Copies of this chain bind each other. A is one copy, B any other.
Amino acid sequence: MRQFIVLGHDAPATAEFPLDDLSGAGRLDILCRCVGAAVFLSHGIREHVRMHLVVSDEYTIRFDSDTLRRLYPDERTIAARIRDALDQRADAIGHLPAEVSPGMELYRLGFEATLDDVASDGPVVQLHAEGTPLPAVSPPSDPIFVLSDHTDFTDREAELLAEHAEQRLRVGPETLHADQTITVAHNWLDTAGYTEY
């Protein structure tokens, strides 16, 4: 299982946002591309991927690739499904999620609670501009990658990551968008650290 936690700092915590201006809705365009990069292959969905999209540190939308249905790779469709999820936020109580649709759940949990929940599943990996180069380490089993949106981790998030993260990795010399970083991380794992093609 590969897991990704993506922090959407400015993403709307209600369903009242327009699908015609995702960039203006807290850069939801980036977050939608992150979901797509995490779960989609050409002509299919990846197996054993879980994506946790943390919205304004208040809700976490979980996408489970093995049971996901009715999701398509374009930003607008993903945003519409995120809106559906947020529309059901009244049904999410603590660790009891609102069931949005097959493979999608909404939790009333912020970053700290989400990280606590998944941290026992495998090593937490922070993708960071100052980390160790990917090829310098062996790809871990069941990694949990944590990424931020267009803004940097807050001090409190950085503290939590310092407590939990086993590794801090960098994907290259350029600062990529979060979705591009997910694509590179997947490729690194797909190829067993650039050795199997």
Q: Which residues on A are within 8 Å of B, measured CB to CB? A: 19-23, 29-30, 33, 36-37, 40-44, 46, 72-77, 133-136, 150, 170-178, 180, 183-184, 186-187, 190-191, 194-197
Contacting pair A175 B23 (CB below 8 A): no
Given A23-B72, A30-B73, 17 more contacts at CB 8 Å?
A20-B20, A20-B76, A21-B76, A23-B73, A23-B74, A33-B36, A41-B176, A42-B150, A42-B177, A43-B150, A73-B177, A75-B75, A133-B197, A136-B197, A170-B197, A172-B190, A176-B183
Contacting pair B177 A41 (CB below 8 A): yes
Contacting pair A180 B183 (CB below 8 A): yes
Contacting pair A22 B74 (CB below 8 A): yes
CB distance from A83 to the nearest CB of B (A): 14
Q: Which residues of chain B have C-beta atoms less than 8 A from A19's C-beta?
A: 20
Complex-state Cα separation, A177 to B22, whole angstroms: 22
**Contact A42-B175, Cβ < 8 Å, known A37-B180, A183-B183, A194-B135:** yes
Q: Can you show 12 pairs from A to B with CB atoms below 8 A apart?
A: A19-B20, A20-B76, A22-B74, A23-B73, A172-B187, A172-B191, A172-B197, A173-B196, A174-B186, A176-B187, A180-B183, A184-B184
Complex-state Cα separation, A25 to B173, whole angstroms: 36
Contacting pair B23 A177 (CB below 8 A): no
Contacting pair B194 A76 (CB below 8 A): no
Question: Which of A134, A170, A190, A191 has its CB near the most chain B CB atoms (within 10 A)?
Answer: A191
